[in-house]
Amino acid sequence: MRRILLKDASAGMSLAADAINAQQMLLLKKGTALTEKSLQMLKSWGVETVCIAQSETEDIETVSPADNSAAIQEELLSQFADTVENPIMAEICRVAADIVHERTHSA
Amino acid sequence: MLNPKLKAMIRRIDDLPTLPRTVFRITEMINNPRSSARDLAQVITDDQVLTARLLRLVNSSFYGFPQRITTITRAIVLLGFDAIRHLLLTTSVFDIFSDRKSELQVAREKLWDHSLGCAVAAKVIGKQIRHDKIEELFVCALLHDIGKIVSMVYAQEDYAAVTRLAAEKNILLFEAEAALLEYTHADIGRLLAERWNLPNMVADVIVYHHTPDQAGPYAKEAAVVHLADIFCRALQLGSGGDHRMPALDTAAWDLLQLDETDIAPMLAEVESGFNDISPFTDAIVTAATA
Ligand SMILES: [Fe+2]
Ligand SMILES: [Fe+2]
């Protein structure tokens, strides 16, 4: 895997490690394929670098498409993107992400 | 001066099902400590449709009473004043959401869930701040986006254009409305509230749910619904037609005097409260279509 600047990442690349921001918030799981939307989302959450898989053969566990909690999580994070400078909103987002995650996993 | 499009809209509002007068007569009655179950039953039985539906509801599996309830008086004794009023209001609001004329059924169902989620959240927040009118908060929140329903039913093309713009630019629905139509669902809500003679508190919360700092005497209630709107969006309960989080109005937050540590338990309560109420609304749907 290779760590690159977010601005050099493009849609279609796969994450070789979890994307985490400076506040240690998990934004995207490793194995997720990047999209234009998720790149935008990572940017607005202040992510500067990401680890991407170097080749298609590189052994990374991919997120199963059946696991739609990752998609929901991504949606949530992109909704909140430009409001989280407010600490209250950041807290709401953090707690809600946990609850939504829990909900999709127990269902 | 009223926007001409908005003016045209007013004329169509008369076709919308209204909140039955009965609901307000009942509210007054419940606020009067001298009224009895018999008085309340009298008002309800004056409205045959409501009576039939209420009986279907109280006999639904949601309540699970062992024997059949055949009179409104009995239902009131078993369920209590507050529960009955709550039921009547929720079913009446549901009627407005289930207008079959509109083709945007999915959008409408999502909006119903958004409204219900917001109503549950408003109750949770109300309890936390020890508000003395928790049931009213529930109603305010249930109705806060009622203007969107009017658009969906009577200005479908406008509504479609607005949601498209909101998605394209990733902006809030009311921002898209303001840009495209020069009025928002809060403006339509204001007209509806006037037409229906809604209590001032409900009307003001509808009008100011995006700008709670302007709500004057009901600033606190508008703040509750503003925060409730954020809560139910955060929990992904239904959808109000956009995919953006409104910025938290910090003055509204301060007014509520909540602590950051209150957020986690409140959100957890909204989640479980929404799950608890779902079978109740299923019962409403069944009673409405039976
Ligand atoms: Fe709204
Ligand atoms: Fe809303």
Q: Which of A30-34, A78-82, B22-26, B266-270 has the lowest mean pLDDT?
A: B22-26
Domain membership of residue A60 (yes or no) is no
Does residue A30 fall inside a structural domain? yes
User: Is A82 found in the same domain as A40?
Assistant: no
Q: Which residues of B touch A86 (CB under 8 A)?
A: 247-248, 250
Per domain, the residue ranges of chain B are 20-96+277-290, 101-258
* One domain for residues A42 and A82: no
CB B195 within 8 A of CB B273: no
Q: Is the pLDDT of residue A65 over 50?
A: no
Residue A101 vs residue B245, higher pLDDT: B245
- Looking at the partner chain, which of B236, B248, B267 has a beta carbon nearest the beta carbon of A89? B248
Is residue A71 in a domain?
A: yes
Same domain for A9 and A47, yes or no, is yes
A82 lies in a domain? yes
Where b means 16+ CB within 10 Å and e means fewer, B176-198 reads: bbbeebebbbbbbbbbbbeebeb
Q: A107 and chain B: CB distance < 8 Å anywhere?
A: no
Q: Is residue A85 part of a domain?
A: yes
**Cβ contacts (< 8 Å) between A72 and chain B: which residues?**
236
Superfamily of domain B101-258: Hypothetical protein af1432 (1.10.3210.10)
Residue A13 lies in a domain: yes
Q: What is the CATH number of the domain that holds A7?
A: 3.90.105.10
B177 Cα to the center of ligand 2, angstroms: 14
Same-domain pairing of A72 and A42: no
Residue A14 lies in a domain: yes
The CA distance from B260 to A84, in Å, is: 14
Q: What is the pTM of this model?
A: 0.76
CA nearest B13: which of B147, B130, B163?
B147
- Chunked into runs of 10 residues, chain B (290 residues) has average pLDDT values of 70 65 68 77 82 83 82 86 74 71 70 91 96 86 89 81 88 92 89 80 93 93 97 92 89 96 96 81 67
Q: Are A15 and A51 in contact (CB under 8 A)?
A: yes
How many other CB atoms sit within 10 Å of the CB of residue B66? 4
Q: Which domain holds residue A90?
A: 65-106
* A34 shares a domain with A8: yes
- In order of A24, B154, B172, B223, the CA distances from B5 in angstroms are 49, 11, 21, 29
Q: Which residues of chain A does B236 touch, with a Cβ-Cβ cutoff of 8 Å?
A: 72, 75-76, 96, 100
pLDDT of residue B27: 65
Q: Tally the domains of chain A.
A: 2
Count CB-CB contacts under 10 A for residue A71. Answer: 14
Q: State which amino acid sits at residue B272.
A: S
- Same domain flag for A38 and A14: yes
Report yes or no on A59 lying in a domain: no
Residue A91 sits at the chain B interface (C-beta within 8 Å)? yes
Kindly provide the ipTM of the predicted complex, given to two decimals.
0.80
Distance between CA atoms of residues A30 and A28, nearest Å: 7
With a pLDDT cut of 70, the percent of chain A lying above it is: 76
